[in-house]
Structure 1
């Protein structure tokens, strides 16, 4: 095991995995908040329909749609680093089932490197959008909230996703390393093994 792969292994286990888990929990918490807001808003509309014949009124949550729109982007992206570390993405190995383990590992490492590049590309675009929204003073229409702070969780998630994919491409052989999640790999199945997975 080289020094680079040993460092990648430690970074994955000691740094990236706890951060990815925390970020996924954040995403789950935000989704719970969105669910609660939705329940309250729908209940308000239902009560309004009940009391309206008697002249009553129950308003919905002001700015509900824009609040959900601001929260959902970062929450959805928050799961990607954990999904990446667990090989929870879709993988179709129809053409590699009979290929040597070394070939599968090489293909996997290439896919991981391309995934890291894609995540960085998306992060750069989001950063540009954040800076522009802050400079333009973009605010929501109802609540008059600045939009750019809500981009930060998504930016963090994309950066961590890129780091996870990049480190996994450099990780040493063994369970969880590139190629080891294939059920026919020499090291046996790793996390999320299967011929087709989706997360």
Structure 2
């Protein structure tokens, strides 16, 4: 089961990375277009090469229309796509100054409580994203510039959130088992290997 969950988390992280890379390229392209558009509209190009400047402007050199709408939607998906890998590898930030002085049993209890609460929060987020998606579908809301349905962004985020919730529930069950048996199933760097 752990191999399957790890593979699922890694696939989601790769998808999130691809989306984030495309968003970075889109942002760079939009910024470059905005700068070039300003340059071609500027006094220097209008006086030195007005025909070329007009030609470039007519070609559509400028910012990508609706870039912020695409970035907003894509980043929401990417965030949820990275959570499963962070969850299954225990990659979340933690402050171990105090917990290092606790016994192994207390640390197992704290990890169990943390995982259960996090799983519950991930399920709640997925549920509310589903409610939001249904609401956006019902009212037919679209983005301002590109006019694509807002529920598409909710659906992409919901997909990532559901996978995050599944991995979160799995990790909560693992930590409950570890606490109940005293046996470490998934090493997370806090425990000392035998």
Q: Same fold (TM over 0.5)?
A: yes
The residue aligned with 1:70 is: 73
How far residue 81 of structure 1 moved from its aligned partner, in angstroms, is 0.5
Report deviation, 1:153: 2.6
Q: Which residue of 1 aligns with 2:193?
A: 187
The separation in 1 between residues aligned to 2:70 and 2:168, in whole angstroms, is 31
Q: Deviations over 1:76-101 (max 9, x none)?
A: 22100100111110111222212211
Could you tell me how far 1:146 is from its partner in structure 2?
A: 0.7
Give the gaps of 5 or more residues in structure 1. Answer: 1-10, 189-199
Task: Please tell me whether residue 158 in structure 1 is matched to residue 164 in structure 2.
Answer: no
* Structure (1 or 2) with the larger CA radius of gyration: 2
* Moved >4 Å (runs of 4+): none
Structure 1 range deviating more: 65-74 or 168-177:
168-177
Q: Which has the higher contact order (CA 8 A, sep 6+)?
A: 1
Residue 107 of structure 2: aligned partner = 104
Please, which of 35, 41, 48 is the counterpart of residue 24 of structure 2? 35
Matches of 2:150 and 2:172, distance apart in 1: 35
Is the 2:119–2:172 contact (alpha carbons within 8 Å) kept by the matching residues of 1? no
Matches within 5 A, 1:5-154: 11-13=1-3, 15-52=4-41, 53=43, 54=46, 55=50, 56=54, 57=57, 58-154=61-157
CA contact (8 A) 1:44 1:59 kept: yes
TM-score normalised by L of structure 2: 0.82
Deviation of 1:35 (Å): 1.0
Aligned residues: 173
TM-score by length of 1: 0.80
Residues 52-88 of structure 1, C-alpha deviations (whole Å, 9 max, x = no match): 1315333321111111112111112210010011111
Q: Unpaired segments of 5 or more residues in structure 2?
A: none
> CA 1:66–1:76 in structure 2 vs 1: closer, same or farther (change >3 Å)?
same
